[in-house]
Amino acid sequence: MHRAQLYANHLSADNAIDPLSAQPTGAVSARAKYTKKPLKVVVTGAAGQIGYALLPIIADGRAFGDDQPVVLHLLEVPAVEKALAGVVMELTDAAYPLLAGVVPTVDPAVGFKDIDYAILVGAFPRKQGMERKDLLEKNASIFKDQGQALDKFAKKTVKVLVVGNPANTNALIASHYAPSIPKENFTALTRLDHNRATAQVAEKLKVPVYSVKNVIIWGNHSATQVPDVNHAVVETTQGKQSVAKLVDAQWLSTFRETVQKRGAAVIAARGASSALSAARAIVEHVRSWHLGTTDGEFVSMGVISTAGLYGAPEGVIFSYPVVIKNGKWAVVKNLALTEDVKKTIKVTADELVDERKMALGK
């Protein structure tokens, strides 16, 4: 295991001064002074293509804020330890002022030690011809082990984002095997689907993507997910307008299918799964969780469900619209659902129940 490398002062870990007292100089000094205690963030699968796209964004302050230093724990499997060393070299060479340290390791006891955030990217990839249940069987043991490691080594306040698919049920598995950590601290990434839906609306209406707010992804991060624009708005110079009133039924049908199958379309086009867009979605998910959502806006996040809330069964990780304040998420209540959305939510909910039975036997 390599010792943490403290880039703020360019000294080895053995001789390093406290990074909180380091005062970087130059054009970035105003945003990079270490006035906060560094957050410890573990990224699994750190040498993979998503990790390679993700780590620079975190190190540059876009996940936790441009005044928040981080120590990155990079956890990988032994087979790619050499590649991981190359990633560490690049992080060093990039000289990120907010990167207070890097801990590359293949040991979960080191990777999960006293961490504040866990971003679980590493998972067995879906290969051609594999059914979803086959993927779940492969990944169940991985997320069981990671849940146990979190339970044993991480802070009890750790916040966990599961990216590896099937993300919702993998998050449930990890939570099940980490009983000392609150269930609300385990989430699954549906922000990528949320972003895809937002981008499709912006493209249709020929508006900037930032002007589209409050699309929703219900349910599972799978082809059964339910993209919903019935509560979405577009902000224009004339004020807020309902997206549902600006599009027709035929486009809505195409829109839903496009979002549901976007991941497969990316694989078909580039021969690999989404990495750039996944990395950005991860950072946005974490940033919203850490810094909160804007008043009047909500985002999609896979969280532990409550029985009957918008048709979801109890005890699965279900994507809901949420608002976040002071690090705590809350599902947006009392949104009206169309009959079509209710029907399709039932499909995605049933899939999550089936996945839970396969993974946990209940």
pLDDT-derived band at 362, boundaries 50, 70, 90: confident
The pLDDT assigned to 31 comes to 45
pLDDT at 346 over 70: yes
Entry pTM = 0.89
| 13-187 under CATH 3.50.30.30, yes or no | no
Q: Where do you find CATH 3.40.50.720 in the chain? A: 13-187
Q: Are 302 and 221 in contact (CB under 8 A)?
A: yes
- Contacting residues for 179 by C-beta, under 8 A, at least 6 apart: 151
pLDDT in tens, 13-61: 333 333 333 333 333 333 445 689 999 999 999 999 999 999 999 999 9
The pLDDT assigned to 332 comes to 98
Please state, rounded to an integer, the average pLDDT across all residues of the chain: 89
Distance of CA 123 to the CA centre of its chain: 14
Q: Where do you find CATH 3.90.110.10 in the chain? A: 191-360
The pLDDT assigned to 203 comes to 97
pLDDT-derived band at 272, boundaries 50, 70, 90: confident
Kindly list the catalytic residues. Answer: 221
| 191-360 under CATH 3.90.110.10, yes or no | yes
Q: What is the 8-class DSSP label of residue 64?
A: T
State how far the Cα of 112 lies from the Cα of 126, in Å rounded to an integer. 25
Give the N- to C-terminal CA distance of the chain in Å, as an integer: 39
The pLDDT assigned to 14 comes to 34
The pLDDT assigned to 264 comes to 87
pLDDT-derived band at 165, boundaries 50, 70, 90: confident
Give the pLDDT mean for 165-180.
Answer: 96
More confident residue, 125 or 333: 333
How distant, in Å, are the alpha carbons of 51, 73, 123, 303 from that of 171? 18, 20, 12, 9
> How long a stretch of residues is the chain?
362
pLDDT at 117 over 80: yes
pLDDT at 334 over 70: yes
Question: Quick count: other Cβ atoms within 10 Å of Cβ 60?
Answer: 15
State how far the Cα of 189 lies from the Cα of 126, in Å rounded to an integer. 17
Which pair of structure tokens corresponds to residue 33? 């002074």
Beta bridge partners of 188: 162, 302
pLDDT at 256 over 90: yes
pLDDT at 95 over 90: yes
pLDDT in tens, 191-245: 999 999 999 999 999 999 999 999 999 999 999 999 999 999 999 888 899 999 9
More confident residue, 334 or 136: 334
